[in-house]
A and B are shown apart, each in its own frame.
Chain A
């Protein structure tokens, strides 16, 4: 259809006019795609900059040596199990 309209004059539009408007439609579609892509990029940048500026979430202190020893004792007491058999 496209090739026919580009080569053969019709009742309503001649082929030269069709080719002219085909280029306009192409530039319209390309511009729409680029504009939407830029808006999505800006949207992502706005969220990225906002998230980057947020303070770090509060976190608990790392375990002390005493706490690590306590946990290690509990783990050691519950590992193995060969003695019961």
Chain B
């Protein structure tokens, strides 16, 4: 693909990603809403970042065992990834203990952590469902097209 077509494709993908978001944002502002649901969306965003980072790190820590199988089982990357995941866990607990910084409508740190985990699984399920729908509809669109006939020109 030439550079010009590649640039157009990237721009089209960016517009396709941003246009629905901007439309919803514009509609919300038109109807009198505040940007990002006010200050309430910041704790939700922070909790989502920390929870997904910690869970993702533990998931990738398990993935490192397969890496270790092909590298004579080194311990250094396992320890490094365990430290990275532990930092995420520690940061979550420390920030949750700082009062209203990350706490939502939950009474204790333990309740907030459990709330984050359940929320994370629900969000991950929604993302996977959306991904499956997008892939399925794309596949259906591609297979529904008529088969292209290849016309071979006669050689002179």
Which A residues fall within an 8 A CB radius of B? Answer: 2-3, 6-7, 15-16, 19-24, 26-36, 38-40, 42-43, 46-47, 49-50, 53
Interface residues of B in 113-155 (CB under 8 A from A): 119-120, 123-124, 126-127
* A interface: dominant SS: helix
Contact between chains at B45 and A6 (CB < 8 Å): no
Contacts of B80 in A (CB 8 A): 46, 49-50
A3 CA / B120 CA spacing, docked (Å): 25
Contacts of A24 in B (CB 8 A): 37, 40-41, 44
Option from B27, B37, B49, B126 in Cβ contact (under 8 Å) with A31? B49
Contact between chains at A29 and B127 (CB < 8 Å): yes
Which B residues fall within an 8 A CB radius of A? Answer: 21, 24, 27-28, 31-33, 36-37, 40-42, 44-54, 56-57, 59-60, 63-64, 67, 74, 76-77, 80-81, 84, 88, 119-120, 123-124, 126-127
A73 CA / B52 CA spacing, docked (Å): 65
Knowing A22-B24, A31-B44, A36-B56 touch, does A50 contact B49 (C-beta < 8 A)?
A: no
Option from A7, A21, A28, A46 in Cβ contact (under 8 Å) with B48? A28
Contacts of B119 in A (CB 8 A): 28
B134 → chain A closest CB, angstroms? 14
Knowing A27-B44, A43-B81 touch, does A6 contact B56 (C-beta < 8 A)?
A: no
Contact between chains at B27 and A6 (CB < 8 Å): yes
Contact between chains at A39 and B56 (CB < 8 Å): yes
A73 CA / B127 CA spacing, docked (Å): 66
Contact between chains at A32 and B57 (CB < 8 Å): no
Contacts of B37 in A (CB 8 A): 19-24, 27
